[in-house]
Structure 1
Amino acid sequence: MRPVRLSVVTAAATAAALAAVTGCTEKSDAKGGEHTVEVAASDSACELSKKEFPAGHVELDVENKGSKVTEVYLLFPDDRIVTERENIGPGTRQKVTAEVKAGSYTIACKPGMKGEGIRQKVTATGEGAAKRDPRLDKAVAAYRTYAQEQADQTLPKVKVFTDAVRAGDLDAAKKAYAASRIGWERTEPVAESFGDIDPKVDVREDGLEKGQDPEKDWTGWHRLERALWQDKKIGAREKQLATQLDKDLADWQQRVGKAVITPSSMANGAKELLDEVATGKVTGEEERYSHTDLVDFKANVEGAETSYVLLKPVASENDPKLTKELDKQFAALDTLLDKYRSEQGGYAFTAYDKVGKADRKELSDAVNALAEPLSKLAAAVVTKK
């Protein structure tokens, strides 16, 4: 779960917001190849090297020239996410590859990772890339099936959790909480691509938008987590929220099959899952009341590894050195996580508040060691030998 989300807005509202934004300018000289858009993100501007590029594969080459951590999004007109890159530190540069069809899109820079961002309209022109490797089509189909299965399997587990909340059974609800989140955490980038579901079900209190009231507007797993572990009580509001969680996740389940999934979105999604681990799980911020962070951690890694394994046949031909390193780092992180499984086995892990500072650093180092090569997977998938 990210601290902040872009909300879904109407096309008219988007146009009005774009007209009102200041500091959104276009560079006069395009740099890089025709498929590369250089993005200069600062605290007050989102400058692009070009606003038109050929459909097919596009690379956003992002440089953060500001003083705040930023993130950059490529969005469909309705604010669904094509691709994104979060946590781009001041003075650093990152690249993200996406696959797009001809049409209109928006690039949004979000200094401080807050709000709607500084936005630019862009256009992909032409017919797009040549027919892709059939192995990639197979990978997309397999991942689509995987994402749907995770959603289908999540709902019964969530019902065990929400039934316990509605029954006022504090202990049973606590026991069912972590398991209810596994399928979501494995495929979180697919859910986040819709824009409006994640803020309803997985936002933390510090991720609420400005002006939202935690007591009235905060919904989803983490609001219930607070009630169970910190407040230690289940009232009428919590029972209502349990039913709302069932409804919102049923909406997610129905929409998974409509998600736009491409080989590059799978690869970028794998990197996003590692970013989720680095910014929420390793720090202990995600499950701050229940301390079940390692369950989420493992699910995120499993989801990332699933995408990688499906894309590996093509990536290993285009960049064998990269896939060798990814194999090594996934294995190392999986082995490290196994150290924290409880005697019960399965998805029972050590409570994260029992994990010491040195051990947290070891986990963080392992995540970073995997995240760096994983950020290159999308390029390896689209690169021709």
Structure 2
Amino acid sequence: MRAIRLPHGAAVAVTAAVALVSVSACADKDGGGGGSDAIQVTASDTECKVSRTEFPAGHVTLAVHNTGSKVTEVYIYAPGDRIVTERENIGPGTRAEITAEVKAGSYEIACKPGMRGDGIRQKVTATGQGAPRPNDPRLDRAIAEYRRYVQEQADATLPKAEKFAAAVKAGDVAEAKKTYAVSRIGWERTEPVAESFGDIDPKVDVREDGLEQGQTWTGWHRLEKALWKDGKIGEEEKKLADQLIVDLKDWQKRVGTADITATGMANGAKELLDEVATGKVTGEEERYSHTDLVDFQANVEGAQKAYELLKPVVSEKDPALAKELDERFAALYELLDEHRDKGSPDGFVSYDTVGKDERKKLSDGVNALAEPLSKLAAAVAK
């Protein structure tokens, strides 16, 4: 789960209009304004200006310049706050280029200074039909396999979550702590797809500082705080354990209906690395249990799964990228291996024992993988 939560209606990554991801950013305050066909987006603390409000459907590039004093995010929303594409963590004075595949229709481009709230929005329209997509049976197979994978992960999560919930309901703090992290692995592996159902994610995976106004705190992290910080289980927590299972069954039932595309898979892989960078490496995600490394590995495994399914196409279209991704994934797993603990119920040391230098190494490994991974969707779409 990312550090700052989206509004309840927001769906992330894999959506009906979704798809491609080619995202890059630079710290140059003056250069990098995008090509002549790019839609210029000037994001300040109080405005979200776009150079064009109508453009042809198809591949659309946003050249974003954050002129404000706060870190911002930029989104293209389809009706119902379904996210077509997004770019987080655009620092003050920096630029980012976002390329998305947009179908004909009405949308909103939103800037979110401070990475909070509904954002400052501009209505835009994509016209025409866009260029037809080339048919590639390998991508069809990849999508089918990935759909099976996300369903398998949801199916496997339920019994583990039920075991965790049973321990909570029994008032067994020790057993609940032991089963907490492993109950989250399937969710973390497929988080972008899970988040595409915007009403489920805020129920099961929100942190206290990510709550929207008036939102009741439920889910894993609410129980995490009770177990590790409060050290006790009351009647409220037992009810929350039941609710967690209800919400996860809803996810399990609906996950097979997610709109999955090849470029959406690539996009999701990059988002999983962003999740690691913004929540796991920092220790913010599991701030009470310190089981961040379990989530970390699950995010990386989910990203690698999407990449491996797309690899036959990527290897043909951009062999150098495939080679680099293979190397970067292997290097990141080696870094994770340095923190394994066979005596731990979840296989890793507690993250609060990982020092500043070691965290820096993990962060560097994540960044080294994230950069080439941001090119994956563009390679698939060639």
TM-score normalised to the size of structure 1? 0.88
**Worse-matched range after superposition: 61-70 or 365-374:** 61-70
Which sections of structure 1, spanning at least 5 residues, go unmatched? Answer: 10-29
Q: Report the CA distance shift for 1:81/1:255 in structure 2 as closer, same or farther (over 3 A).
A: farther
SS in 1 for 2:287: coil
Deviation of 1:135 (Å): 1.9
Q: Size of the alignment, in residue pairs?
A: 358
Aligned to 1:192: 195
Measured in 2, the distance between the counterparts of 1:168 and 1:211 equals 29
Report the CA distance shift for 1:347/1:55 in structure 2 as closer, same or farther (over 3 A): farther
**CA shift for structure 1 position 120:** 1.9
The aligned amino acid for 1:195 is G
Amino acid in the other structure paired with 1:188: E
- How has the CA–CA distance of structure 1 residues 252 and 173 changed in structure 2, closer, same or farther, with 3 Å as cutoff? same
**Cα offsets for 1:7-54 (capped at 9, x unmatched):** 228xxxxxxxxxxxxxxxxxxxx97365x4332222111122322333
Aligned mate of 2:186, from 180, 183, 186: 183
Q: Per-residue deviation at 1:267?
A: 1.3
Q: CA deviation at 1:360?
A: 0.6
Give the aligned partner of residue 262 of structure 2: 263
Structure 1 match to 2:5: 4
Question: Is residue 159 of structure 2 the alignment partner of residue 156 of structure 1?
Answer: yes
Cα displacement (A) at 1:315: 2.2
Partner letter of residue 281 of structure 2? V
Q: Deviations over 1:168-205 (max 9, x none)?
A: 11111111100110011011111112222111111111
Distance in 2 (alpha carbons) for counterparts of 1:373 and 1:91: 23
- Which amino acid in structure 2 is aligned with residue 150 of structure 1? Q
Q: 1:346 Cα deviation (Å)? A: 8.9
Q: Output the CA distance in 1 between the equivalents of 2:370 and 2:188.
A: 17
**Unpaired segments ≥5 residues, structure 2:** 11-32
Task: Supply the distance in 1 between the matched residues of 2:319 and 2:286 (Cα, whole angstroms).
Answer: 37
Q: What is the rounded CA distance, in whole Å, between the counterparts of 1:330 and 1:314 in structure 2?
A: 18
Q: CA contact under 8 A between 2:332 and 2:365: conserved in structure 1?
A: yes
CA RMSD, aligned part only? 1.9
Question: Structure 1: how far apart are the matches of 2:335 and 2:227?
Answer: 30
Structure 1: which 4+ aligned runs deviate by more than 3 Å?
30-34, 344-347
Question: 1:252 is matched with which residue?
Answer: 251
Structure 2-normalised TM-score? 0.89
Match of 1:366 in 2: 365
Distance 2:127 2:140 in 1: 23
| Matching residue's letter, 1:317 | E
Aligned to 2:68: 66
Confirm or deny that 1:228 pairs with 2:230.
Answer: no
Correspondence for 1:27: none
Partner of 1:26: none
1:122 counterpart residue number: 124
Deviations 1:101-160 (A, max 9, x none): 322222221110000011122222222332332322222222111111111111111101
After TM superposition, the structure 1 stretch with the greater mean CA deviation from structure 2, 150-159 or 320-329, is 320-329
Is the 1:7–1:79 contact (alpha carbons within 8 Å) kept by the matching residues of 2?
A: no
CA distance in 1, matches of 2:334, 2:34: 43
1:296 corresponds in structure 2 to 295
Query: Sequence identity of aligned pairs in percent?
Result: 71
